[in-house]
Structure 1
Amino acid sequence: MRDSGPSPLDPFARHTMPRISVVLLLPLLLLSLWPTARVSSHHESGQWSCEPELEVRIEAGFKPGIITLDGHGDDWKDIEGSEFSLLPALDPDADKEYGGGKMTVKALHDGTSVFFLLQVDGNYVYSKGESPKCPSVALMFQIGDSATYHNMGGCKEGTDTCTNKTCKGHEVDIMHFSIGTAIPGRLYGGNPIDNGEGNGGDRFGHLVDLYAWSPHCRYIDGTGPTGNDSSAQNNWDGAWWHSSFNVHSGFVEEDSPYASDGQKGTYYFEFSRPLRTMDRIQQDAQFAIGKSSKMSVAFWYPINGNPWHGSGHFSINCDWVPLDISFGGSSLTRTASQSSWDATTAFSLLLSVVSLCLSVFVVYRVFGPRSIPYKPMEIALG
């Protein structure tokens, strides 16, 4: 079903959504999920002003084998997260903060893939097939060295002139999940059908893999202003859940809307992606253990039942937030381990010195010169 509201492919948007070139043989359902017409421009009012929280960070520690990607937050309970206020992306004013509460972002890696959990309170709302009437989330990562958080990469070129050459260095990577067609607890994102056709789409749950140079120039991986590239893939997997659900054996589509609207609770959005992908056309962020990347998180919610629009989202910060892919656990754990190692090393060194002294003493006693007691000799003189 075609969404009746604004395009769900409008994460971090501020201006005009371009016409996206798609593979002609894609089924009608996928075409219904991809915007093919321009929508009204979203322009900022006045000069952009931002006072980012400079001390905030997201740390992805090494924790292999503990996460099941099912949308539930139970297996994250021992993982520390970072808490963020959600402010309007176009007007980061504290007086306009999201009223449901703060968002907690957790991350970890298992040496091969990176995992994210987004946790935010919100009354349950769901309208099957109508994404703007359901909550939605997006992750955005810096690819190009010149890519800014503001204006989604910040390339100054217009819709008709932005290309991978004119906007080189302004690339950002985006994962967007609109849950209007996604069953809670089920896995969405990369699938053999869409990946087989060489694009970042997801015809089943609309967990799509995008890239952009600016709000004007935003495309599904594998598509672009100069044509399509069949080597693209959707490398993301994800699921969602709400704490008001009382069925843990699994939902099917016929169970929609899965719970009654208005129930208090918490939304959980869980995602994973390989640290490194096979991308060769500068459309995926690449992560490395021991290195830091830049990211942001966006959240859409139908306030008072009103459908959200592309640029009407909240964000965790008005600038990039560092994402640290660490070697191990927290820095506190690493410091404690280092201190323990230092103490053990000092004790071992002391024990070695004492042993050496004892050895020298024993060798000296066994092989050293011995004093012969004086014994007078009686000599017969006659």
Structure 2
Amino acid sequence: MLRILLVLLFVVFVYSHEESGPWSCESGSEIRVESEFQPGLITLDGHADDWKSIDGSHFSLLLALDPDAENEFNGGKMTVKSVHDGRDIYFLLQVDGDYAYFNGEGNKCPSVALMYQIGDDASYHNMGGCEEHSTSCTNKTCKGHEVDIMHFSIGNAIPGRLYGGNPIDNRDGNGGDRFGHLVDLYAWNPHCRYLDGTGPSGSVNDSSAQNDWKGAWWHSSFTVHSGFVKDESPYAENGKKGTYFFEFSRPLRTMDHLQQDVQFTIGGSSKMSVAFWYPVDGQPWHGSGHYSVNCDWVPIDISQSSSLSGKSPDTASNSSWNVASAFSLILSVAALCVSVFVSYRVLHPKNVQFTPMEDL
């Protein structure tokens, strides 16, 4: 099973990175994604209802290997939204597209991937940019070029159901997903790419590695909201117009100690990219079907809580001090008032006239 996954990944990524000419990129510096602090807001089910109040970033989808405007995906732009709750980070990818689904045939169904910079020298272009060949790339020869990848191919995934990290694959110590192909990978270049916990021939693999991602997908043409089972495939009529939704989550920090997972920091920034495959005109996707939201890394900012966002540590500290000072003043005034009242009662007791018992 692991060998089958690796072969499939080789076909998906290597052949989608055969360039036809010199590489050029004109990236807008203003492009970025913000992950807001919104605890308890998102349910991971593929539905976008709970994302309506979250602002998103909108991207044109251009061919990853030839990012010219004339090659833009004809379905429309992709919206990327993100929030975090202080423990997990969540993503929603939303893109218009006619429904296309063929059970068990991943390259006839849409597919998405998220990629993040891990190593300081890791470039977006060439998936990390290590110049070593597949026979010579190792964690030493390609040190600093590590990228983290999550890839979701929905050909075996039921809409609305969770996929990704599961006890069986995590028990085996790798980032695979034998049920829905939502896999956790790392790479140094398109030819040196491995499931978490695995590596080049002869390398020391780590049995404690796991798939830290979970995710689900949905399409707006579905008439059933409660969910499907596998026997209902293909779930809707192919060709129906609508919108695809891909929803993912992962802990901000993972137990990775082999430089195979990106580590997010609240208040910090990371670099990411999003890839999208689609069977254009009903044809199985390949290199020309690989789109991207940008031709370079897109910054993602992990916001602090709303009470601290936009404030420096000194400003937040001063604000806390002002609140504490005001509270202390109120307590002091209240204590003074009580002291004055007690003193008055002691020094000026109320005289009560004595009445003998026999006069009652």
Deviations 1:303-347 (A, max 9, x none): 00111115631000000000100103499x747xx89x98xx79x
Q: CA deviation at 1:249?
A: 1.6
Question: 1:298 & 1:37 partners in 2: Cα distance?
Answer: 14
Q: CA deviation at 1:250?
A: 1.1
Question: 1:37 & 1:72 partners in 2: Cα distance?
Answer: 27
The structure number with the bigger radius of gyration is: 1
Question: 1:74 & 1:203 partners in 2: Cα distance?
Answer: 29
Gaps of 5+ in 2: 334-360
Is the 1:181–1:206 contact (alpha carbons within 8 Å) kept by the matching residues of 2?
Answer: yes
Aligned partner of 2:80 in structure 1 is 105
Matches within 5 A, 1:66-215: 66-215=41-190
Superposition misfits of 4+ residues, deviation over 4 angstroms: 36-42
Question: 2:107 & 2:142 partners in 1: Cα distance?
Answer: 30
Is the 1:290–1:326 contact (alpha carbons within 8 Å) kept by the matching residues of 2?
Answer: yes
Is the 1:87–1:98 contact (alpha carbons within 8 Å) kept by the matching residues of 2?
Answer: yes
Aligned partner of 1:33 in structure 2 is 5
Change (3 A) 1:31 1:167: closer
Q: CA deviation at 1:157?
A: 0.6
Bigger mean CA offset, 225-234 vs 209-218: 225-234
Change (3 A) 1:243 1:44: same
Q: CA deviation at 1:46?
A: 2.5
Question: 1:38 & 1:179 partners in 2: Cα distance?
Answer: 17
Q: CA deviation at 1:56?
A: 1.0
Code of the residue aligned with 1:83 in structure 2: it is H
Q: CA deviation at 1:294?
A: 0.3
Aligned partner of 1:235 in structure 2 is 212
SS at 1:35 equivalent: helix
Aligned partner of 1:21 in structure 2 is none
SS at 2:115 equivalent: strand
Question: 2:20 & 2:8 partners in 1: Cα distance?
Answer: 27
Aligned partner of 2:228 in structure 1 is 251
Bigger mean CA offset, 169-178 vs 50-59: 50-59
Q: Percent identity?
A: 70
Aligned partner of 2:300 in structure 1 is 323
**Aligned-residue CA RMSD in angstroms?**
2.5
Is the 1:183–1:253 contact (alpha carbons within 8 Å) kept by the matching residues of 2?
Answer: yes
> Residue 275 of structure 2 is aligned with which of 298, 307, 312?
298
Q: CA deviation at 1:205?
A: 0.2
Is the 1:189–1:237 contact (alpha carbons within 8 Å) kept by the matching residues of 2?
Answer: yes
Question: 1:328 & 1:260 partners in 2: Cα distance?
Answer: 43
Q: TM-score w.r.t. structure 2 length?
A: 0.83
Matches within 5 A, 1:265-344: 265-310=242-287, 312-329=289-306, 334=310
Aligned partner of 2:27 in structure 1 is 52
Q: CA deviation at 1:259?
A: 0.1
Is the 2:279–2:289 contact (alpha carbons within 8 Å) kept by the matching residues of 1?
Answer: no
Change (3 A) 1:152 1:37: closer
Aligned partner of 1:65 in structure 2 is 40
Change (3 A) 1:220 1:271: same
Question: 2:117 & 2:236 partners in 1: Cα distance?
Answer: 37
Q: TM-score w.r.t. structure 1 length?
A: 0.78
Question: 1:330 & 1:156 partners in 2: Cα distance?
Answer: 45
Q: CA deviation at 1:216?
A: 1.0
Question: 1:37 & 1:238 partners in 2: Cα distance?
Answer: 18
Is the 1:134–1:179 contact (alpha carbons within 8 Å) kept by the matching residues of 2?
Answer: yes
Deviations 1:238-264 (A, max 9, x none): 000000001012100000000000111
SS at 2:300 equivalent: strand
Question: 1:174 & 1:231 partners in 2: Cα distance?
Answer: 18
Please state which structure has a larger fraction of its residues in helix: 2
Aligned length: 319
Q: CA deviation at 1:53?
A: 1.4
Code of the residue aligned with 1:33 in structure 2: it is L
Question: 2:153 & 2:9 partners in 1: Cα distance?
Answer: 19
Is the 2:18–2:287 contact (alpha carbons within 8 Å) kept by the matching residues of 1?
Answer: no
Code of the residue aligned with 1:218 in structure 2: it is R
